[in-house]
Amino acid sequence: MAKISPSILSADFARLGEDCKCILDAGADMIHFDVMDGHFVDNLSFGIPVLKSLHKVFPEAVYDVHLMISHPLFYCNAFAQAGADYITFHLEAEDDIQATIDAIHACGCKAGLSIKPGTPAEALFPWLEQLEMILVMSVEPGRGGQAFLPSALDKLSAIRAECDRRGLTPYLSVDGGINDAVTGPQCVKAGADLLVAGSALFGADDRAKVIDAFHAL
């Protein structure tokens, strides 16, 4: 059974609390919280105060924070304080990877590392033992609603095989262009066990039905 982490980048920000309640009631396993700094990616999204507000209203939810920012080391403690459970940063960001993983763990969170479409799966291998989540981007980070890049599938397979070989069980997550009909099933077949979906879920008339369909994969 795959788990689902809805990306609230596709929610209606004027009704963010209601949209979160809706997907949590419908069985979402986590809330995927996309942070953009206008530097690592050219877009801006939302940050620490928004997470803090959501955590206050939904303290039991699991917050899967995806930092698409150049300096995750500087900000990870503030996200932890605001309620993050998982903090995922990019291997292509500017901060020292070991120091950032250590800082995330030191503030009591689980650490995730993500790769962009142009980065090979093997670049993650030196860090696998220290990670609770791996996030393969299947679109260029920066915005929702883009088409899935099939090159993510071979990466998922390679990472799953390497984790199996080493006896590791971090979440293997995929983000970008994921739907319950085609790309989600392909990713699960390739080894993903946590699917991030934004537009396919928030754009659906019956979100509970889509979440059930993801869970059935």
CB atoms < 10 A from the CB of 22, how many? 17
Quote the DSSP letter at residue 16: H
CB atoms < 10 A from the CB of 15, how many? 11
197 binds, options Zn ion, ligand DX5, none, Cβ within 5 to 8 A by partner type: ligand DX5
Q: Nearest distance from residue 63's CB to ligand DX5, in Å?
A: 14
User: Which residue has its beta carbon closest to ligand DX5?
Assistant: 198
Q: Nearest distance from residue 26's CB to Zn ion, in Å?
A: 19
Separation CA 56–CA 54 (nearest Å):
5
207 binds, options Zn ion, ligand DX5, none, Cβ within 5 to 8 A by partner type: none
172 binds, options Zn ion, ligand DX5, none, Cβ within 5 to 8 A by partner type: none
Which residue among 2, 4, 10, 90 contacts ligand DX5 (CB under 6 A)? 10
Token output for 84: 């993050």
Which residue among 83, 112, 170, 177 contacts ligand DX5 (CB under 6 A)? 177
Report the DSSP beta bridge partners of residue 174. 136, 195
Site for ligand DX5 in 190-209 (CB under 6 A): 196-200
215 binds, options Zn ion, ligand DX5, none, Cβ within 5 to 8 A by partner type: none
Cβ distance to ligand DX5 smaller for residue 194 or 200: 200
Q: Nearest distance from residue 12's CB to Zn ion, in Å?
A: 18
Burial 154-177 (b: 16+ CB within 10 A, else e): ebbebbbebbeeeeeebbbbbbbb
Q: Is 84 helix (H, G, I), strand (E, B) or coil?
A: coil
Separation CA 95–CA 72 (nearest Å):
7
Helix%, strand%, coil% for the chain, nearest 5: 45, 20, 35
CA distance readout (Å), 125 to 108, 159, 179:
23, 8, 27
**Window of 119-127, 143-151, 153-161, 183-191 that interacts with ligand DX5 by CB under 6 A:** 143-151
Q: Is residue 145 a contact point for ligand DX5 (CB under 6 A)?
A: yes
Q: Nearest distance from residue 171's CB to Zn ion, in Å?
A: 13
Cβ distance to Zn ion smaller for residue 83 or 164: 83
Separation CA 25–CA 47 (nearest Å):
24
Positions touching ligand DX5 (CB under 6 A) are 7, 9-10, 32, 34, 66, 68, 139, 141-146, 175-178, 196-200
Q: Catalytic amino acids?
A: 34, 175
Positions touching Zn ion (CB under 5 A) are 34, 66, 175
